[in-house]
Structure formats: structure tokens, C-alpha cells
Amino acid sequence: MKTDSLFYHIFQQFPFVFFALLGIPADATNQYQFTSQEVKQLAFRLDGLFLPIVADSQLPFYIVEVQFQPDPNLYYRLFSELFIYLKQYQPPHPWQLVVIYPNRQTERENNLHFQQMLALPNITRIYLDELSPPATASLPIKLLRLIIEPENTAPDLARELARQAEREIANAAVKKSLIELLETIIVYKLPQKSREEIAAMFELSDLKKTRFYQDVFAEGQAEGKTEAQAEAQAGAKQREKVSILRMVSLGLSTEQIATVLDLSVAEVEATIAQAEQT
């Protein structure tokens, strides 16, 4: 799963996380819709766009860019997209541009052309490694820090987040979705971990109710059953297929899926190809 896709998935499902980054109360999420928008000239697409859904001309719209690789052309593209978008759509709201980096070393400022632009109050640059440390950070900030957390400490932070979600989130559906997201991030960060190791990281009462656990880590115990061997093998194969397709929908690569399910890359690719033909 590409890192920017992971962020946009988070913002789509939990928009309050984006506003927490900007220090804006979570209530603001009721005033916005997260979407993407095509900018027709040169086939630009604004992949992250928070548009106001209430009639308030004072509310800004937010263009969001996640950049985890150094790119000396980034600001040329971003400002081109911004001004073409303004020309094409002429939105009745002021604009804000938010760029999210893992650290300052990733950014390529190009002060010759963009120093004054980057100093505008309309532009916010966020460096994830400079956010509040986990000990004092809020739940949304911890969630984003998990993406850049070192592999050796990521499981501990994920467990802490899962416990915090159980304590702080009253809505059962939101809590379940957030725990599933934590599982997805851990699989993305630690593809070498076995199913049993990842499952052991989340010893929560509600874990076995989550879609991810049921699809990927379903125990499938056959105790007390006397199914024929061929039928049992067919069922296992079907469960394996469901697991692979679910992980594809979550954005994992064939290599990551193969590692998690203890399969070869060729087996994973064959299952995906077969599913696409049916």
C-alpha cells in the first residue's frame, strides 16, 4: 500500500484526524466532505480535497498532499494544480494548502521560486516526526505517528492505540473501524510478521469481531467436525482466496500478502488472476 493512499484512506474514514493535525476541533468535520477532484488541463488530479458542505464563505477548502519521497518538482506541480483548480471551479471559499511530510529532510523547498509562497498563511507544512510525542499526543496524532514509528516500537504503539480507542471511543462502529485500520497499518509496516504474531499484538475483547481478523486471521478450527478431506481442502482454499482478495482491497502488495499468508508470490498472483477472470 502506498503511504499516500494510506493517509487518504484515513482522511476518508476518519476526517477528524486531518483537523486534529491543524489543531481544529473535531466538530469541523461536520462542515466538510473529503473527496478528489480532477483538474482537466494536463490531467491533474487533486487526490486530497476537503470541501465545505455548508453555506459559509468564510470556511476555507483544503488541498492535502502527502509526500514521503523527495521530489524537487512537488511545489511546481502543487501550485500549478491549485491555480488551475481556482480558474476552473472558482470555489466560493478561500484556499488552504496542507503538505504532510515524514520529516524536514524529505522536503525540497526550492527557495528561488517558492520562498515567498511558502511563507503565506494559506500554506501549512506538517512534519510527522515533529508532532507531539506519543506520551502526550491525542489519539488522532498517535495514529499518524504510527505510520512513521520504527518497526521495533510500532507494535507497542499499536497496542496502546487499540487500548486507548477502546477507552475513548464510544461509537462501536467507529471503534471497530479504527482497530481494523491499526491492523492494516501494522501489516503494511511489518510484512515479515506471521499471522499469529500480528494477531497476538491485538489481544482485545472485540478483536475477533473485526472484518480484518475474520477475513485474514480466521481460525477455521474444525474441532469435532468429520468433513471429508476433499471438502476440507476446498474450504481452506476458499478461505485463502477470500483472505487474499480482502488484502488486495486493503492495498497490500502481492509480496506482503504472500508473507502474511505464508504463500509464494506466484500462488498469490494466480489467485488474483483467477478472481479477475470470473
Beta strands in the chain (DSSP E): 32-39, 44-52, 61-66, 95-101, 123-127
Compute the half-sphere exposure of residue 105: CA atoms within 13 Å on the CB side of its CA.
1
Instruction: Report, in this order, helix, strand and coil percent for the chain, each rounded to 5.
Output: 55, 15, 30
Per-position b or e across 157-170, b if 16+ CB within 10 A of its CB: bbbebbeebeeebe
**Cα–Cα distance measured from residue 260 to residue 240, given in angstroms and rounded to the nearest whole number:** 11
AA letter at 171: N
**Which pLDDT score is estimated for 118?**
95
Nine cell digits for residue 88: 476552473
**Which pLDDT score is estimated for 182?**
84
**Which pLDDT score is estimated for 1?**
45
Nine cell digits for residue 245: 482478495
Query: Mean pLDDT across the chain, nearest whole number?
Result: 81
Q: pTM here?
A: 0.69
**Cα–Cα distance measured from residue 219 to residue 112, given in angstroms and rounded to the nearest whole number:** 58
User: What is the spatial order of strands in the sheet that 32-39 belongs to?
Assistant: 32-39, 44-52, 61-66, 95-101, 123-127
Helix (H, G, I), strand (E, B) or coil at 183: helix
**Which pLDDT score is estimated for 251?**
67
Cα distances (Å, whole numbers) of residue 78 to 20, 48, 63, 170, 184 = 23, 12, 9, 38, 29
* Phi, psi dihedrals of residue 237, rounded to the nearest 5°: -65, -40
CA 57 to chain centroid, in Å, comes to 30
- Condensed to tens digits (0 to 9), the pLDDT of residues 2-43 reads 567 788 888 988 999 999 999 999 899 999 999 877 666 555
pLDDT below 70 — which residues of the chain? 1-3, 38-45, 194-197, 199-236, 250-251, 260, 278
Q: Which residues contact 163 (CB under 8 A, 6 or more apart)?
A: 204
The residue assigned the cell 455548508 is: 54
**Which pLDDT score is estimated for 203?**
58
